[in-house]
Amino acid sequence: MTTPAQVRSPRSAWAAALANLTGLGLGYAYLRRPLRVVAAAVGTLVLLVIAFVTDASNAPWLWRAVAAGWLGAQAVDGARIARSGPRPPRGAALLPTWGAGAAVAVLVAGYLGYGAAERATFAAAVAAQARGDCATATPAFDAVTGRYRLTLADDVPSAAARRAECAAYTAASMAQDTGAVAAAEDALRAFRNDHPGSVLTPYVDERLATMALRRVDTAVTTLAGQTGAARAASVRTAIEELLPIRRDFADAPSAARVPQALQTVWAAAERPFAQAQFCEVLPTLDYAVTLPAAETGAIVATARRHRPQAQLGCGLAEFRAGRFPQAADHMQDLLADYPNNAGAAQARSVLIAANVAQATTDPIPVPAPLGTPGDRTVTFYNVTSTPLRLQITGATAADVTVPGCPSCPRSLPKLDTCPSPGGKPTQAVRLAGGLYHVLLRPTGSRGMNVRTLTAVDGAGFCVYAVPAGPSI
């Protein structure tokens, strides 16, 4: 209810409206409406508290509209009340109007300064984060999301996101620095997935690269005590640690160490080759030739050059140790992978010798490479209709097939005296002098037998199939 004194006191509508735009109820104080002063001040305070608690920066335009509506309503209400009473003389309204305008200007300037302080704090935090200095960046981000939250700037949600990045990075870094390497690596990899494009990514990548390089250094030190498959597994682990650094962490400073680290790994991995320990290094070479040439060109090229020699050397070592099936496997691999290699002729002769050796208990020497010319001719002739494959090994080696004799019986009992060679299919073989073992295999049969002969120039030997197997 308006008192007579209030009605008689002329007030400026402009002054009341401007003063109420402060949100502090100054217009109502000018109008001498104490209850409205309290209501306005309390209402503004409540709005500020709600805006802070609910983080108004998540919906800035909504809260800007709420603030504009709240202040506008007070300005309109103040102007309405002022107009309901007598109007002051023209000159008498200037002072309160200018005073109200000054109050609004002070509040606007304060809010602008509040916003400028937020922007400066955010910029400093971003710069510190870009340097990887989360210890400095984190409290600054906290200030942006805390006391500067009511600026309603876009920086506020951005600061919250960046604060989360720093928290994740700091936790991972602390885990690494305290020796919890596995947990640190998991956390850093999770960071890369959860925060793509973060300014901290280069620092994350550097930490991941550093941990991988340390594991590689450890793997290299273990190679000296490893052989065969275990050695190849360690080499695989080391190289598979290094290649992703260059692919995934290319911008990390440690990525520049990868080429040299690869060479260090490979030098240690292939050391048995230089020591002629071919069986020890062969599994490593088997793995290395499968590597992508674009990323490991020098390693792949070296592995491809050395692998056939290692296959041959390992096969020879297995043969000399009496492990004939393993020797045969290595020779077959060499011939399948590198049929035109310079060692292929030797591999073929050793493969023949290994097959013969598996069928006899006699000692079998390593023959000369297949195709090595002999100084004497030995002729084999078949006195049965069954074609016979002869694998011959001694000082030299040969692998020939003698066709069957169409007019001869399919098989013969063990003979004391060979039939005449006249009209029989023959196969002449050039051999060096010495003792030879001959493995006979009828075509289409698993039967086999080994006989010995001495290479004499011009000698002839009959071969034949017997009911229980071949003979000579």
* CATH T-level fold of 365-471: Immunoglobulin-like (2.60.40)
Q: State the average pLDDT over residues 110-134.
A: 93
- Whole-model pTM: value is 0.71
Q: Quick one: pLDDT at residue 446? A: 64
Tell me how crowded residue 286 is: count the other CB atoms within 10 A of its CB: 17
Q: Distance between CA atoms of 12 and 85, rounded to whole angstroms? A: 9
Residue/partner pairs of 263-269 with CB below 8 Å, 24 or more apart: 263/298, 264/220, 265/216, 265/219, 265/220, 265/235, 265/238, 265/239, 266/235, 266/298, 266/299, 266/302, 268/220, 268/223, 268/224, 269/223, 269/231, 269/235, 269/238
Q: Quick one: pLDDT at residue 470? A: 67
Q: Quick one: pLDDT at residue 7? A: 45
Q: Quick one: pLDDT at residue 12? A: 83
Give pLDDT tens digits for 243-259: 988 888 888 899 899 99
Q: Quick one: pLDDT at residue 5? A: 46
Q: Report whether pLDDT(110) > 50.
A: yes
Q: Distance between CA atoms of 297 and 259, rounded to whole angstroms? A: 11
Q: Quick one: pLDDT at residue 444? A: 65
Confidence grade of residue 1 (pLDDT, cut at 50, 70, 90): very low
Dihedral over Cα of 58, 60, 65, 69: its sign: positive
Instruction: Indicate the SS3 state at residue 372.
Output: coil
Q: Distance between CA atoms of 409 and 101, rounded to whole angstroms? A: 130
Q: Which of 218-227, 296-305, 327-336 has the highest mean pLDDT?
A: 327-336
Q: Quick one: pLDDT at residue 114? A: 86
Q: Report whether pLDDT(6) > 60.
A: no
Q: Quick one: pLDDT at residue 103? A: 86
Q: Where are the domains of the chain?
A: 4-88, 196-337, 365-471
Would you mind telling me the total number of residues written for the chain in this entry?
472
Q: Report whether pLDDT(219) > 90.
A: no
Give pLDDT tens digits for 143-160: 999 999 888 888 999 999
Q: Report whether pLDDT(134) > 90.
A: yes
Angle (nearest 5°) at CA 349 between 286 and 329: 35
Q: Quick one: pLDDT at residue 445? A: 63
Q: Quick one: pLDDT at residue 411? A: 87
Q: Distance between CA atoms of 162 and 170, rounded to whole angstroms? A: 12
